[in-house]
Each structure stands twice: as structure tokens, then as C-alpha cells.
């Protein structure tokens, strides 16, 4: 016969005069900072006490009740009531609702105090938004809602901005499918269909950062030279009903497409078709995105593929192509310039040879069952397929590691439900982004920390590329760093993280993965990886017999992965100090000067995405003034920020202008006199810009 379930007994509740209550020394909340007693008292005065106090009878030396009760749980509420008594707003004999724990309870007072704080769950931001929206619909203003819950008006407005986000995305957020800052980014647009489309595109990849969401929602036109356009094809876009705008007076790279949503849909449809073919190869997973962040595969393992052996027919074809190539080169060895048709033929031969020499790779089906593929677009619009990556959870594990257990983290929360209103502002702190900052029209405000970090990430990658190409400087920097550590005990602020530890870019701009340095660093890495033996002994022997020039080149490449020229926002209790960042940037400047690093030659140019759309109008005008002269800046000063940024991108194209974070040493621009074209020419270019629909 099944035993009966034992029923619990709840503690009794009753009203106890306030002057019969005392604060218990068993209350675990000892830190008084940030408790906002005044706000809680005002809230109790307005709406009454929403949650009872937890009390226990005070006993005398003989164990008899004295008629006084101590408060181990609810100390903040007790202090708020105490303040109301001092303010003469509450009688000292007023009954206070209390849950009374019986004397001699086996549950410790500290246990009750801790449980009340730990077990409470803060209100979800989405629930807060819905509550604010309900109060707004019932007639309260934003200011009245903010005053009632003791939060800044900006918090209320930020929450109410979620009204512009589609219900589909809010449901995803409710299920922890996205972060609050991502939801806030979607609120920049009220086009629910476009919001859903952007999330569908981004949800298949790693890069779902708010800046990318905003960029995709706010872009009005796309250059015809964009990778998506090259991938889809301009004719396909026009056939699908898209329109193209053209500049009749300037080179426009084929014009601008004014329907990004249609372009994205066409690109994803074509990507999906390619993905279906790749998935049929037998991979465990295939992840698709228009682009992935730089270094997104760093946490993944890779399985090794086997190059397909070249066939006799392919060998014969390769020999014939090389013979034809040698014959043409011998025939025109003395010619100053090749005829156009001959030059074209040589290009075709080189491309055919490269195709034959680049062997396809096959993988073991058993390993494919635990690995996957990343499918995206390369910067030139071609399909970029990266096969053979294994997620961390699919990697073989050590049995000893599986037996280890992780410690659970217990987050400290506030002590009662009445504090939810006063804590609401803290929940929203993550929602404030650089795009929410008020714009300073009159002066030059400092660049946002995130933007400076993105720019220095770009510079770090360019430094790595230049570093790996100059073994002499690489070895000098390596020895310099080692000598500082070994002979002078200087460990912090190193530009070169000698060890070597690869420095990742947790914050990066949208153009980093497709930049020239990124392609060159990746190509160099893949070339070395293809040459290196896999076994440890075989690798040591191979390195031991490597010629000195190759050893130095490999050393430079390995060391380049540790170059760190990043600016980081310094947190009050962080491990990195302002002095460390300052010394790191100074050493990076010296390294850039030694390498003669020129970000312009490395492919950086100011665009709306990587700079102009991320700064204030004053910064945009400063860039145009430095790059093209005062008169060019005056010509666009009257424009709204989006139009100003777009026109500034056109004016600065080819100017060689760089923001401070990308300059080396002196902030002055090299060849500034050459950069500032005649004011009359700039004025004519601006005035003659006309756009016609294609």
C-alpha cells in the first residue's frame, strides 16, 4: 500500500505593530550600498506593502516569548517602513503584515534570509515591456510610468521601443533565442517582414551582432560591386523585379540596387540550393550565412582530407598547357607588350593550370558523420565552402574529463519583490548602445570605444600581414619582447604576445573578414598548413632540415598570430590597465613604422559601414575636411546624417584619409596636399551628381 504524502504546514501570518519589530542580526544582507531605501519607502507610501516580512519571536533567557519579533528576511522593507515612521507618514504602532516562523524552528534564520534573496527571479525585460505598454494604453504617460517605478524615462522609452519589433522575434527572445541588445537593434525599423527576413538570414550563422542587424535594416541601397550582387547576378536581380540606380556623371561600379530585401532573398535562395548539394555529401551539419566573422572556426577541430590523385588524362592536359605556356613566353620574350589576345590566352592557361593543380579533397565518411561545413560568400561573390570542421561537443573526449564536475554559480539578487521596480534600470543597462548616444553637433566627441576597438582590430590584422612578410623585423620584435621579460622583468603592455598565443577579435567590423589582409593571412596559413607534416617527430625533423630563409619565414608567420595592437575599453576592476593599453599602442606604432604599414595600400577605405555611419556629423565633416578640404566639407554640411555619410563615402574614395586609430605616430596625414583636390573640382563633382533609374 502506497504511503500517504506528508502535507506541509505554512507559517502563520498576522499583523504585528511596527514598534514590536527589530532588525535581526541574522540577515545575510550586510552591504548597504545601492539599497535605495528612499525609493522603496516612497513606493510603499504610494501603493502599500506588497510583500510581508518574515519574522521570528524574540525569546528571553528562559526561552519565553517577549512579545517582540526579529526580522531576518525583509530587512530592506523594514528600513523603508522605519523611514516612513520617522517621516510621520506611518504610525509606529501600525500593524505590519508578517509571516511568523515558530520559535525553535529547525530552519535557521540565516537560511530564510538567504533563501528569500537567492530564490527571487528578476522580472524579464519582455514582461517589463508588456507591463509598461499596458500602463501606457491605460492612459499613463512615459514620465508617469518612470516616476511610478523609479526608473529613468529613457528606460521606459527603450522598453516601449520593443513595440516596433515583430511578435515572431519577441517570441524568439522570450525563449532565449536572442539577446536583449539584439532585440533593441531590431527596433530601429518597424518593417516586421524585413525584421523577420534579417533574423532568418543571420540565425544560420555566428555573426548576429547588433551592429550587423542595424546595418541590414537601415541600408537603402547596395552597390552593384557588392559580393551578394556578384553572387546572384545583376540580370537575375532585375528580372526578379529589382531596380538599379546609376550615376550618369561618375564611375559607379555598375550602380546601386535599391531593394536590399529582394537581393538578400535571392542570395539566400541560391545559397540554400548550394547548401542542399553539400549536405547530400553526408556531413553532420551545414551552416549557411552571407558572411561569417573573422576567426569564427577557432574553437573548432578539423578532420583531415585526402587529395584526389591526379589522373593520366589530367597529367597529359597539364603537360600540354605548360608546353603551350612556355612556347608563348619564348615567342614573346623580347616583346615590350603582349598582344591583347595573347595576354588573354596566357591568363586562360594559368587559370586552367591552377584548377588542375588544386586537387579536390575527399573525407572519411565516418569522420564526416561528426563534422560539418560552413557555406558563405567570398568577398569576390564566389561561393566559399569550408569543409571538415568539428564542433567542440563532437570532439573525442578524455574519460577523466567527462568525470569532472563544474561548480554552480549562484547569482546574488535583491531581497524582495518590491525592489523589482527600483532595479529595472539595471536590467536595461546592456541595451544602451553607441547608436543610442545623443549626437554632439557642435563639437568632436570621442569616438565610441567599440568603433576604436574595431578599427584597431583591422589595424592588428594588417600588422600581422606585414609582420609575416618581414622576417627580419619579426625576429627583432621577438627578441626585443623576450629581452624585456628576461632581463628587465617587464611583462605587461607587450604588442607581441610572445609564446605564441593567437589573439582573437571579439569585436570586429563588418569588413574585416573580407579585407585584403584577412585573405593574405588565411592564404599564408593554409599554405604552411599544407606543407607541415602531422606527426610530432616528423614535424621536428622537417623543421630541422628546412632552409634558413624558410625557417625565418615560418617563424615570422607564427609570431604574427600573436601581434596585438588592439585598443580595449578599460573596466574598473579589469585585468588590463590604461597604462598597459597605452604601452601596447605605443609599441604597435613603433612596429608599424618599422614595417612601413600603410592601411590604404592594405585596402582600408572609409565607408558607411566601417566608419562614416558610426560617428557623429562633426566627425564626418572632420574627415571630409582633412581628406578633401574645407570647401568640400561645407558643401555637405547641410545634409542629414545618412545623406552626409553617403556623400562623404563618395568624396573620400581614393583620398587616402585615415581615422586616428589607423594612423601611425603623428596624426598628420601623409601627402595631405595631394589628398585635397581642388575645391572647384570637388564642387563640380558634387553638383553634377544625378541619379537615374535603370
Q: 429 lies in a domain?
A: no
**379 with 355, same domain?**
yes
Average confidence (pLDDT) over 151-165: 79
**153 with 110, same domain?**
no
Transcribe 197-240 into DSSP letters.
Answer: HHHHHHTTSS---HHHHHHHHH---EETTSHHHHHH-HHHHHHT
Transcribe 555-600 into DSSP letters.
Answer: HHHHHHTTB-----PPPTT-S--HHHHHHHHHHHHHHHHHHT--TT
pLDDT for 93 beyond 50: yes
**39 with 153, same domain?**
no
Q: 551 lies in a domain?
A: yes
**339 with 383, same domain?**
yes
CA-nearest of 568, 582, 565, 554 to 474 is 554
**257 with 299, same domain?**
no
**80 with 216, same domain?**
no
Helix, strand, coil % over all residues of the chain, rounded to 5: 50, 10, 40
The domain that holds 218 is classified in CATH as 1.10.10
Q: How far apart are CA 597 and CA 534, in angstroms?
A: 34
Q: How far apart are CA 241 and CA 127, in angstroms?
A: 41
Q: 404 lies in a domain?
A: no
Q: Which three cell numbers, joined as nine digits, stand for 40?
A: 522603496
- Report angle CA 263, 511, 164 to the nearest 5 degrees: 55
Least confident segment among 35-39, 610-614, 623-627, 688-692: 688-692
Q: 423 lies in a domain?
A: no
- Out of 119, 153, 186, pick the residue that ends a domain: 119
**139 with 99, same domain?**
no
pLDDT at 500: 56
Q: Which three cell numbers, joined as nine digits, stand for 684?
A: 563640380
CA-nearest of 567, 562, 558 to 481 is 562
* Res. 118 pLDDT band, cuts 50 70 90: low
CA pseudo-torsion sign 348, 350, 356, 359: negative
Block residue for cell numbers 579585407: 515
Domains contained in the chain, number: 4
Please, what is the end-to-end C-alpha distance for the chain in angstroms? Answer: 85
Identify whether the C-beta of residue 251 lies closer than 8 Å to the C-beta of residue 290.
no
DSSP state of 496: B
* Res. 497 pLDDT band, cuts 50 70 90: low
At residue 51, φ and ψ (nearest 5 deg) are -135, 135
Give every strand in the sheet of 53-59, ordered side by side.
12-17, 95-100, 53-59, 65-73, 21-23
pLDDT at 261: 85
pLDDT at 435: 44
Q: 645 lies in a domain?
A: no
Identify whether the C-beta of residue 368 lies closer than 8 Å to the C-beta of residue 387.
no
DSSP state of 291: -
**44 with 182, same domain?**
no
Average confidence (pLDDT) over 179-204: 82
**Half-sphere exposure (CA, 13 Å, Cβ side) for 19?**
7
Helices (H) and strands (E) in the chain, counts: 29, 15
Query: Considering the chain, what is the average pLDDT of its residues?
Result: 77
Domain that holds residue 79: 13-119
Q: Distances in Å between the alpha carbon of 469 and those of 118, 473, 523, 565?
A: 56, 9, 13, 17
**41 with 155, same domain?**
no
**146 with 235, same domain?**
yes
- Out of 263, 286, 318, pick the residue that ends a domain: 263
The domain that holds 25 is classified in CATH as 3.90.1530.30
The stretches of 140-179 forming alpha helices (DSSP H) are: 142-149, 153-160, 167-174
pLDDT for 382 beyond 80: yes
pLDDT at 498: 57
Identify whether the C-beta of residue 109 lies closer than 8 Å to the C-beta of residue 24.
yes
Identify whether the C-beta of residue 205 lies closer than 8 Å to the C-beta of residue 376.
yes
**474 with 588, same domain?**
yes
- Out of 356, 390, 424, pick the residue that ends a domain: 390
**376 with 282, same domain?**
yes
CA-nearest of 44, 57, 47 to 14 is 57
| pLDDT tens digits along 498-550 | 555 666 776 777 777 778 888 888 888 888 777 877 766 777 677 777 788 88
pLDDT at 468: 86
Q: 678 lies in a domain?
A: no
Q: Which three cell numbers, joined as nine digits, stand for 313?
A: 588524362
Q: 106 lies in a domain?
A: yes
Which range of 149-153, 259-263, 355-359, 367-371 scores highest in mean pLDDT? It is 367-371
Q: Distances in Å between the alpha carbon of 94 and those of 16, 196, 250, 534?
A: 8, 55, 81, 80
Reduce the DSSP state of residue 346 to 3 states and report it.
helix
pLDDT at 673: 33
496 or 558, which is more confident?
558
* Res. 117 pLDDT band, cuts 50 70 90: low
Helix (H) or strand (E) holding 464, with range, is helix 449-468
CA-nearest of 420, 422, 415 to 78 is 415
> What is the model's pTM?
0.46
Identify whether the C-beta of residue 2 lies closer than 8 Å to the C-beta of residue 88.
no
Q: 2 lies in a domain?
A: no
Kindly state the greatest CA–CA separation across the chain: 117
* Res. 161 pLDDT band, cuts 50 70 90: confident
Amino acid at each position: 500500500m502506497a504511503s500517504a504524502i506528508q502535507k506541509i504546514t505554512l507559517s502563520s501570518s498576522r499583523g504585528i505593530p511596527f514598534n514590536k519589530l527589530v532588525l535581526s542580526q541574522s540577515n545575510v544582507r550586510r552591504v548597504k550600498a545601492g539599497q535605495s531605501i528612499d525609493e522603496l519607502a516612497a513606493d510603499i507610501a504610494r501603493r502599500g506593502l506588497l510583500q510581508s516580512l518574515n519574522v521570528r519571536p524574540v525569546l528571553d533567557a528562559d526561552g519565553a516569548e517577549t512579545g517582540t519579533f526579529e526580522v531576518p528576511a525583509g530587512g530592506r522593507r523594514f528600513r523603508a517602513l522605519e523611514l516612513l515612521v520617522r517621516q510621520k507618514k506611518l504610525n509606529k504602532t501600525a500593524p505590519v503584515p508578517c509571516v511568523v516562523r515558530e520559535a525553535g524552528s529547525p530552519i535557521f534564520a540565516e537560511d530564510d534570509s538567504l533563501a528569500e534573496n537567492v530564490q527571487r527571479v528578476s522580472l524579464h525585460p519582455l514582461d517589463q515591456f508588456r507591463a509598461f505598454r499596458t500602463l501606457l494604453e491605460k492612459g499613463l504617460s512615459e514620465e508617469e510610468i518612470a516616476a511610478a517605478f523609479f526608473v529613468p524615462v529613457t528606460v521606459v522609452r527603450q522598453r516601449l521601443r520593443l513595440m516596433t519589433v515583430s511578435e515572431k522575434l519577441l517570441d524568439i527572445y522570450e525563449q532565449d533565442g536572442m539577446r536583449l541588445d539584439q532585440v533593441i537593434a531590431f527596433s530601429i525599423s518597424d518593417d516586421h517582414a524585413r525584421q523577420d527576413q534579417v533574423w532568418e538570414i543571420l540565425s544560420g550563422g555566428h555573426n548576429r551582432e547588433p551592429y550587423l542587424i542595424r546595418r541590414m535594416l537601415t541600408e537603402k541601397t547596395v552597390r552593384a560591386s557588392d559580393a551578394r550582387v556578384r553572387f546572384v547576378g545583376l540580370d537575375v536581380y532585375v528580372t526578379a523585379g529589382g531596380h538599379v540606380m546609376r550615376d550618369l556623371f561618375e564611375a559607379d561600379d555598375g550602380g546601386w540596387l535599391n531593394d536590399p530585401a529582394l537581393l538578400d532573398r535571392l542570395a539566400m535562395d541560391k545559397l540554400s540550393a548550394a547548401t542542399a548539394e553539400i549536405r547530400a555529401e553526408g556531413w553532420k551539419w551545414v551552416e549557411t550565412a552571407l558572411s561569417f566573422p573573422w576567426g569564427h572556426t577557432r574553437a573548432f577541430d578539423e578532420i583531415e582530407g585526402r587529395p584526389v590523385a591526379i589522373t593520366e588524362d589530367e597529367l597529359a592536359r597539364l603537360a600540354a598547357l605548360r608546353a603551350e605556356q612556355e612556347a608563348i613566353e619564348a615567342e614573346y620574350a623580347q616583346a615590350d607588350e603582349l598582344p591583347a589576345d595573347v595576354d588573354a590566352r596566357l591568363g586562360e592557361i594559368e587559370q586552367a593550370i591552377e584548377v588542375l593543380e588544386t586537387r579536390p579533397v575527399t573525407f572519411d565518411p565516418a569522420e564526416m558523420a561528426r563534422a560539418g561545413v560552413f557555406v558563405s560568400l567570398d568577398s569576390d561573390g564566389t561561393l566559399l565552402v569550408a569543409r571538415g570542421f568539428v564542433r567542440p561537443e563532437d570532439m573525442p573526449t578524455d574519460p577523466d574529463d567527462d568525470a569532472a564536475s563544474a561548480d554552480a554559480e549562484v547569482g546574488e539578487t535583491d531581497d524582495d519583490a518590491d525592489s523589482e521596480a527600483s532595479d529595472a534600470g539595471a536590467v536595461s543597462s546592456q541595451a544602451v548602445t553607441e547608436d543610442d548616444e545623443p549626437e554632439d553637433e557642435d563639437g568632436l566627441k570621442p569616438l565610441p570605444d567599440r568603433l576604436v576597438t574595431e578599427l584597431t582590430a583591422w589595424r592588428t590584422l594588417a600588422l600581422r600581414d606585414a609582420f609575416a612578410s618581414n622576417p627580419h623585423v619579426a625576429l627583432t620584435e621577438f627578441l626585443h619582447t623576450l629581452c624585456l621579460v628576461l632581463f628587465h622583468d617587464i611583462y605587461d603592455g607587450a604588442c607581441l604576445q610572445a609564446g605564441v598565443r593567437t589573439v582573437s577579435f571579439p569585436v570586429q567590423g563588418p569588413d574585416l573578414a573580407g579585407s585584403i589582409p584577412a585573405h593574405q593571412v588565411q592564404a599564408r596559413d593554409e599554405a604552411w598548413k599544407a606543407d607541415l607534416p602531422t606527426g610530432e617527430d616528423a614535424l621536428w625533423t622537417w623543421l630541422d632540415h628546412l632552409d634558413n630563409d624558410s625557417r625565418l619565414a615560418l617563424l615570422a608567420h607564427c609570431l604574427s598570430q600573436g601581434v596585438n595592437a588592439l585598443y580595449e575599453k578599460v573596466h574598473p576592476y579589469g585585468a588590463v590597465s590604461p597604462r598597459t593599453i597605452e604601452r601596447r599602442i605605443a609599441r604597435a606604432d613603433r612596429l608599424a613604422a618599422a614595417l612601413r604599414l600603410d592601411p590604404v595600400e592594405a585596402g582600408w577605405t572609409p565607408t558607411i559601414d566601417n566608419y562614416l555611419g558610426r560617428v557623429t556629423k562633426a566627425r564626418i565633416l572632420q574627415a571630409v575636411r582633412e581628406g578633401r578640404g574645407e570647401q568640400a566639407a561645407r558643401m555637405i554640411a547641410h545634409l542629414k546624417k545618412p545623406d552626409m555619410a553617403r556623400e562623404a563615402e563618395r568624396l573620400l574614395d581614393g583620398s587616402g584619409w585615415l581615422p586616428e586609430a589607423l594612423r601611425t605616430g603623428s596624426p598628420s596625414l601623409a601627402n595631405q596636399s595631394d589628398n585635397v583636390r581642388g575645391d572647384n573640382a570637388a564642387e563640380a563633382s558634387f553638383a553634377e551628381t544625378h541619379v537615374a533609374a535603370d
